[in-house]
Amino acid sequence: MIPAPERDHAAPPSSALLTEMLEALLRFGTQLLRAGDNACQVRRLMGMVARRMGFDALSMQLGLGSITASGRRRSEGATLVREVGASGVNSWRIGALEELASTAPPGMTPHALATKLAAIEGAPPRYSVAQTGAAIGGSCAAFAFLNGCTGLEVAAAAVGGVIGQGLRSWLSRQRFNQYIIAALSALVASSVYCLGAAVLRHAGFGIARYDVGLISSVLFLVPGFPLVTCLFDMLQHETAVALARLANATMLLLNAALGVYVVIAVVGVSFDSAAPPARAAPLLLMLRALASFAGACGFAILYNSPCRTVLHVGLLTLIGNPLRLALRDAGLALAPATFVGALVVGLLESRARGWMTEPRMEVTVPGVIMMVPGLYAFEALALFNQGEVLAALRSLVLVVFVVGAMAMGLVVARLISRPEWLRE
d(CA 255, CA 179): 6
pLDDT at 232 over 70: yes
Give the pLDDT band (50/70/90) at residue 382. Answer: confident
Does residue 309 fall inside a structural domain? yes
Tally of domains in the chain: 2
Q: Give me the mean pLDDT over the 381-408 stretch.
A: 84
Does residue 358 fall inside a structural domain? yes
Q: Which domain holds residue 205?
A: 129-422
Within this chain, do residues 244 and 116 fall inside the same structural domain, yes or no?
no
pLDDT at 389 over 90: no
pLDDT value of position 319: 92
Does residue 5 fall inside a structural domain? no
Share of the chain above pLDDT 90, in %: 35
| Interval 289-298: pLDDT, tens | 999 999 999 9
User: How would you classify the pairing of strands 66-73 and 76-83?
Assistant: antiparallel
Within this chain, do residues 135 and 114 fall inside the same structural domain, yes or no?
no
| Interval 121-132: pLDDT, tens | 999 999 999 999
- Is the distance from CB of 344 to CB of 353 less than 8 angstroms? no
Does residue 38 fall inside a structural domain? yes
Q: In this structure, what is the dihedral angle of CA atoms 144, 149, 150, 153, given to the nearest 10 degrees? A: -60
Within this chain, do residues 277 and 245 fall inside the same structural domain, yes or no?
yes
Q: Give me the mean pLDDT over the 137-143 stretch.
A: 92
Across all residues in the chain, what is the average pLDDT?
A: 85
What sign for the dihedral angle of Cα 250, 252, 255, 257? negative
Does residue 8 fall inside a structural domain? no
Within this chain, do residues 270 and 175 fall inside the same structural domain, yes or no?
yes
pLDDT at 135 over 90: yes
pLDDT at 40 over 50: yes
Within this chain, do residues 264 and 345 fall inside the same structural domain, yes or no?
yes
Within this chain, do residues 284 and 236 fall inside the same structural domain, yes or no?
yes
Within this chain, do residues 192 and 50 fall inside the same structural domain, yes or no?
no
Does residue 9 fall inside a structural domain? no
Q: Which of 58, 91, 121 is the last residue of a domain?
A: 121
Q: Which of 121, 140, 161 is the last residue of a domain?
A: 121
Instruction: Of 364, 312, 309, 371, give the one whose Cα is nearest residue 337.
Output: 371
Within this chain, do residues 90 and 192 fall inside the same structural domain, yes or no?
no
Does residue 3 fall inside a structural domain? no
- 61 forms bridges with which residues in the sheet? 68
Q: Which of 121, 147, 175 is the last residue of a domain?
A: 121
Instruction: Tell me the one-letter amino acid at 80.
Output: L
Within this chain, do residues 93 and 193 fall inside the same structural domain, yes or no?
no
Within this chain, do residues 44 and 177 fall inside the same structural domain, yes or no?
no
Within this chain, do residues 92 and 167 fall inside the same structural domain, yes or no?
no
Does residue 311 fall inside a structural domain? yes
B/e letters for 236-260, b = 16+ CB within 10 Å, e = fewer, are: bebeebbebbbebbeebbebbbbbb
Give the pLDDT band (50/70/90) at residue 6. Answer: very low
Within this chain, do residues 283 and 366 fall inside the same structural domain, yes or no?
yes
What is the pTM assigned to this prediction?
0.85
| Interval 162-182: pLDDT, tens | 999 999 999 988 889 999 999
